[in-house]
């Protein structure tokens, strides 16, 4: 069996596909997030995946992880999906449904209009929010998709998922149950505020309402606080600068990132760490508990770095627990992320004679600067970098 990994350019967001391929040609396809449904992705789905995704994972509610999934499910002709994991609110099906009042429906319409536009990367045009749907509604409106949406929440406490066909298993690292409760509490607070009614179990369209309100609030607050590195002199981007930034750790306080699904794919002795947008501290605790008897750092064939490599979601202590020679950092936003601190911690933690390859899927101001570091600086750091959407063969099992 061979394992292939590809990270697609989804602008600021994530889009990652893992293919597990048997010698006889049978394959199991895992798609993790999709911030933008692009022509490149569409062609890959048609030619390499034969319009089949066996396991579709939306790690959390953020638009830069799920907006492209919505577009793909609505517009990709002939696509079939075996199972969907998406921790969206689920109402108690035995409770009588309560319809929104006309006034509340009008409020909902105004919220939809205020949502950021969706970009159709196939036809290169913007699509206004009322024309689109939330991921939850897209799934629920399609009987075939609704039937394969896993009802139970995915959490740290979920049992390992045995991949059908003898392809390996998935070990869950996050989220913790309390993180889902935090999202649930935020949703109910926002509902009470915007709809002028105390939340009641059974209100119709709960799944869509939760996703819409969480994304609405998230869209209009500045989640990423960039540090001013130096206001006195021009920055010299070299190995010394990167090493210094490795010590400038930060923390993430986002409820949506706190609720992100993170997991380890295991195929025999081979491992791929898919960290979603999860907190470093959450992953560290999970690894300590679930891999207590495994020597650290755990050697992974690849690590999908959390939250586009932002400074608040990586730590030296995390990279002391898991190590690899291939790091995938999807997305990127101006000068904000990925951060130089994350790059430095990857480079400086668990160094050996082999260079670490850091793969950026999206070209932006900061990934270009990182990629353009001098050869001598990269040699000192023990890294190589590339900006690409190409597919990598990770291992043969």
Cis peptide before 75 (omega within 30 of 0): no
Q: How many residues does the chain have?
A: 397
- End-to-end CA distance of the chain: give it in Å, rounded: 5
Distance separating alpha carbons of residues 244 and 285, to the nearest angstrom: 26
Contact 331, 14 (CB under 8 A): yes
Average pLDDT score over residue span 125-137: 76
229 contacts: CB under 8 Å, gap ≥ 6: 235, 245
* Residue 26 clears pLDDT 80, i.e. is over it: yes
Q: Output the pTM of the full model.
A: 0.95
Contact 30, 10 (CB under 8 A): no
284-342 pLDDT, tens digit each: 999 999 999 999 999 999 999 999 999 999 999 999 999 999 999 999 999 999 999 99
Interior CA angle at 41 toward 275 and 389, to 5°? 60
Distance separating alpha carbons of residues 306 and 338, to the nearest angstrom: 10
Per domain, the residue ranges of the chain are: 2-396
Average pLDDT score over residue span 99-116: 89
338-380 pLDDT, tens digit each: 999 999 999 999 999 999 999 999 999 999 999 999 999 999 9
Contact 245, 344 (CB under 8 A): yes
Interior CA angle at 335 toward 238 and 213, to 5°? 145
């Amino acid at each position: 069996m061979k394992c292939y990994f590809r990270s697609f350019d989804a602008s600021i967001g994530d889009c990652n596909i893992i293919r597990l391929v048997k010698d006889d040609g049978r394959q199991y396809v895992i798609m993790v997030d999709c911030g933008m449904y692009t022509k490149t992705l569409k062609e890959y789905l048609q030619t390499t995946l034969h319009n089949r995704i066996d396991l579709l994972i939306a790690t959390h509610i953020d638009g830069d992880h799920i907006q492209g999934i919505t577009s793909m499910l609505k517009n990709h002709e002939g696509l079939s999906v075996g199972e969907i994991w998406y921790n969206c609110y689920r109402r108690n099906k035995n409770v009588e449904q309560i319809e929104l009042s006309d006034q509340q429906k009008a409020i909902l319409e105004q919220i939809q209009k205020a949502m950021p536009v969706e970009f159709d990367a196939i036809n290169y045009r913007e699509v206004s929010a009322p024309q689109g749907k939330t991921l939850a509604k897209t799934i629920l409106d399609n009987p075939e998709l609704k039937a394969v949406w896993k009802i139970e929440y995915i959490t740290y406490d979920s049992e390992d998922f045995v991949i059908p066909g003898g392809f390996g298993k998935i070990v869950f690292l996050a989220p913790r149950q309390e993180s889902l409760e935090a999202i649930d509490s935020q949703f109910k607070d926002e509902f009470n505020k915007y709809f002028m009614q105390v939340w009641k179990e059974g209100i119709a369209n709960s799944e869509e309402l939760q996703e819409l309100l969480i994304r609405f609030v998230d869209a209009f607050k500045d989640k990423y606080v960039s540090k001013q590195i130096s206001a006195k002199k021009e920055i010299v981007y070299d190995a010394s600068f990167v090493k210094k930034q490795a010590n400038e750790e930060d923390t993430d306080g986002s409820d949506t990132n706190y609720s992100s699904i993170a997991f380890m794919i295991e195929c025999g002795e081979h491992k791929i760490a898919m960290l979603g947008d999860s907190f470093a501290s959450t992953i560290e605790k999970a690894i300590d508990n679930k891999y207590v008897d495994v020597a650290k750092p755990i050697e992974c064939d690849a690590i999908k770095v959390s939250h586009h490599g932002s400074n608040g979601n990586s730590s030296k202590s995390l990279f002391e627990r898991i190590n690899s020679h291939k790091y995938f950092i999807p997305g990127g936003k101006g000068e904000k992320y990925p951060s130089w601190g994350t790059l430095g911690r990857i480079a400086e933690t668990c160094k050996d004679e082999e260079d670490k390859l850091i793969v950026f899927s999206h070209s932006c101001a900061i990934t270009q600067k990182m990629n353009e570091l001098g050869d001598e600086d990269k040699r000192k750091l023990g890294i190589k970098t590339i900006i690409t959407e190409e597919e990598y063969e990770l291992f043969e099992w």
